[in-house]
Amino acid sequence: MVSLMVGCVWYLDSGVSFHMTGNKSLFSTLEEKDLQMCIEMGDDGKYRVSGEGTVVFQREHGAPLTLTDVKYVPGLKKNLVSVAMLEDKGYDVVFSRGKAFLRHIGTGQTKRIGIQVKNLYKLEVDDCAALSSKVELVQSQDIGKLWHRRLGHLHHEALKIMQQISTGLPKGKLEQVDTCKGCTLGKYAKSSFQDRDS
């Protein structure tokens, strides 16, 4: 099932921890359950999280845009896309001159994803066709590479240990299939130049 974009506005928000919506009909898949979480909003209202799922936007051109791990928060009046979650998936989000841009950390590919409407940034679904399959579907290998680099090229076994003893690292496997080019180059040993008799 694919959600229709008609009458559906999503805002990019750097202050929220999760993608969230109060509109149950927007979900393509939804697992309704009490997640033992409450969302506190700017109006001091508290809203209980009643499920989690996937929202897929149908567009006229290109592949659908998919957001995963979207929280279902009954009573929430706005649909919010979390900047922090996009960054955790391996992207930088840049706000500049009334536009929002998404830049993949690994490839450097940049696309405009939003525009400023009054004092808020609205997600432009039609403009992110090239990134639609990448925004939320970054494989665990990419996340593993990202955290390997963020932690100063930490060995993958040490990364697993860090994941167990610390908070803030993503859950699940942080696999890294290919060899890190930076680590390989850092381990090269060059032989010294031979003395040259003049």
pLDDT digits (tens, 9 = 90+) for 54-106: 887 654 444 456 788 999 999 888 889 999 998 888 888 888 888 888 888 88
Question: CA 68, CA 53: separation in Å to the nearest integer?
Answer: 6
Contact 82, 19 (CB under 8 A): yes
Distances (CA, A) of 96 to 56, 107, 113, 115, 122: 27, 20, 12, 10, 13
Residue 52 confidence class, pLDDT cut points 50, 70, 90: very high
Contact 146, 130 (CB under 8 A): no
pTM over 0.85: no
Domains of the chain in sequence order: 10-131 (2.40.70), 140-178 (no CATH)
pLDDT of the residue at 62: 42
